Amino acid sequence: MTSMGETAVLDAERAEEIKLLANEAFKANKFSQAIELYGQAIELNGLNAVYWANRAFAHTKLEEYGSAVQDATKAIEIDPKYSKGYYRRGAAYLAMGKFKEALKDFQQVKRISPNDPDATKKLKECEKAVQKLRFEEAIAVHESEKRSIADAIDFRSIDVEPQYIGARIEGETVTLDFLKKMMDDFKNQKCLHKRYAYQIVLQTREMLRAMPSLVDITVSDGDHFTVCGDVHGQYFDLLNIFEINGFPSQENPYLFNGDFVDRGSFSLEVILTLFAFKCMCPSAIYLARGNHESKSMNKIYGFEGEVRSKLSDTFVELFAEVFCCLPLAHVINNKVFVVHGGLFSVDGVKLSQIREIDRFCEPPEEGLMCELLWSDPQPQLGRGPSKRGVGLSFGADVTKRFLQENNLDLVVRSHEVKDEGYEIEHDGKLITVFSAPNYCDQMGNKGAFIRFKAPELKPDIVTFSAVPHPDVKPMAYANNFLRMFS
């Protein structure tokens, strides 16, 4: 018979073996597998801080920053002198935009390893970011007193230089010919003149402002409708979707379900293309807000830096304003509820309540609007805390009740990378669709979109693989010190 002590030794040895397998999975970008294996190692030996810190890092890679913070905190509790615990937690806080909490953790790393040049560099960057944030908070104008930047822009008075050879909008109308030329210019990494960029963004703003927070879409019998998930600045994959499924038009309408920008380094090209189709034919394309159509995310994940680099500071403010006009959810033929994130922390939410949300603001930290943009499904019943640290996780029972109470058949949402580009959960009542293949050039996933044909609206899922793009890395314009962690 083995004694308690011997069992513990055997468990510890086995845990080490599993950790090595987890490390291999991590190196192969198989982060979910790595999380599962680190979990097994923790079950055998929960007092090894390294396993918790490693699992925290894997959670970070899957954007599960809430879980990463929890695991890193556990590593710190086990070994308060383990600098990597603070380091991992600091990185997760940074990714959530919680700069002040991150700063505390990096200060701790520096205390534990005063001679580590890397820690010193990251602490400096973090201090700079927090100073900048404090400065911005100090000079910020209250939302209610803000003047609209859009009202101050007169694109008609901007001259186009004779030597400009890019796409041109003649008069007020965005045509398919203009769009094709612009898309082709973007393909060759040429910029659109800012006069036309202003025209597209301002016209889109007018249309979006007039829409309700919950938009009803009607698809006539025999017609079809396509729903796409996150595109995340992967412009060349967006062109591939149009290649496979045709351009948006009255006969071939699309809904893009949020997260058009950030991470991928062609976010400006993506957003101008989607907005230009909206201008060309408003019923050809519907756009929903994602959690990345917000100032705090754009500051960290690249869109702000990209717009500043390719256009100007004024455009940064203008896009922030237009993103606040994006509707929050769509319902197709009173049957299919489409939203970026997911459902709610309370039962009994009616479609009429969603329709009444005052959405013209930055997304709040809690409440219906926040949950629409941030929540995720979970395999267990009921509700649980969010892996992301924002919103919540909800089970099949929550989905079923929401559908029954609102007389709907299906929830379609995006917001999470899936190996096959989609996943069907909650007894077939919920589909996740994600349209950025090989996400961030490293996840190896497929992309997908869903075609619905009326009247049955049976989801027909089409998957596709990533296509090559010019050698500009994801996050090329992202916040300086976030890049230091990726």
pLDDT beyond 70 at 105: yes
Q: With bands split at pLDDT 50, 70 and 90, how would you rate the model's confidence at 3?
A: confident
451, 315: one domain? yes
Over residues 367-393, the mean pLDDT reads 97
Decide if 439 is inside a domain: yes
What rounded mean pLDDT belongs to the chain?
Answer: 94
Q: Which residue type, as a one-letter code, is found at position 93?
A: Y
Residue, of 313 and 482, whose pLDDT is higher: 313
Edge to edge, the sheet with strand 376-377 lists 376-377, 392-394, 383-385
**What mean pLDDT do residues 448-469 have?**
98
Span 159-164, mean pLDDT? 95
Q: What is the pLDDT of residues 92-103, one digit of tens each?
A: 998 998 888 999
**Looking at 139, 169, 202, which one is the last position of a domain?**
139
Q: Are residues 157 and 96 in the same domain?
A: no
Q: Is residue 80 part of a domain?
A: yes
155 shares its domain with 133: no
107-116, 240-249, 270-279, 300-309: least confidently modelled range: 107-116
Query: Which one of 76, 110, 139 terminates a domain?
Result: 139
Q: Is residue 311 part of a domain?
A: yes
Q: Residue 55 is part of a domain; what is its CATH number?
A: 1.25.40.10
DSSP string, 210-278: TS-SEEEE---TT-EEEEE-B-TT-HHHHHHHHHHH----SSS-EEE-S--SSSSTTHHHHHHHHHHHH
The CATH number of residue 189's host domain is 3.60.21.10
Task: Let me know if residue 144 belongs to a domain.
Answer: no
Query: In the structure encoding, which two tokens stand for residue 324, read together?
Result: 């606040």
pLDDT of the residue at 1: 60
Q: 195 and 69: one domain? A: no
Q: Is residue 122 part of a domain?
A: yes
Q: How many CB atoms lie within 10 A of CB 196?
A: 22
Closest CA to 98 of 128, 133, 64, 74: 133
Give percent of the chain above pLDDT 70: 97
State mean pLDDT over 129-138: 81
- Whether residue 433 sits in one domain with residue 287: yes
The pLDDT of residue 82 is above 60? yes
Residue 145 within any structural domain of the chain: no
Least confident of 108-122, 399-413, 428-442: 108-122
Q: Is residue 167 part of a domain?
A: yes
| Residue spans of alpha helices (H) in 79-220 | 83-95, 99-112, 117-139, 176-187, 194-209
User: Of residues 232, 292, 415, 426, which has the active-site annotation?
Assistant: 292
Same domain, 131 and 184: no
Task: Tell me: do 247 and 116 sit in the same domain.
Answer: no
CA dist 391 → 190, 261, 364, 417 (Å): 39, 20, 10, 17
Same domain? For 135 and 154 the reply is: no
**Nearest residue to 91 via CA among 76, 77, 78, 106:** 106
How many Å separate Cα 401 from the centre of its chain? Answer: 27
Annotated active-site residue 292? The verdict is: yes
Whether residue 116 is found in the same domain as residue 222: no
Position 144 scores a pLDDT of 62
| Lowest-confidence region among 11-20, 101-110, 144-153 | 144-153
For 200-229, what is each residue's pLDDT tens digit? 999 999 999 999 999 999 999 999 999 999
Q: In this predicted structure, what is the pLDDT of residue 4?
A: 73
Mean pLDDT for the stretch of residues 321-330:
98
Shared domain check, 174 and 54: no
Query: Quick one: pLDDT at residue 367?
Result: 97
Query: Are 242 and 291 in a shared domain?
Result: yes
303 lies in which domain range?
150-483
Please give the tally of structural domains in the chain. Answer: 2
The predicted model scores a pTM of 0.95
Which of 104, 139, 174 is the last residue before a domain boundary?
139
pLDDT, tens digit, for every residue of 394-411? 999 999 999 999 999 999
Do residue 99 and residue 64 come from a single domain?
A: yes
What mean pLDDT is predicted for residues 160-167? Answer: 96
Query: In the predicted model, what is the mean pLDDT of residues 431-444?
Result: 97
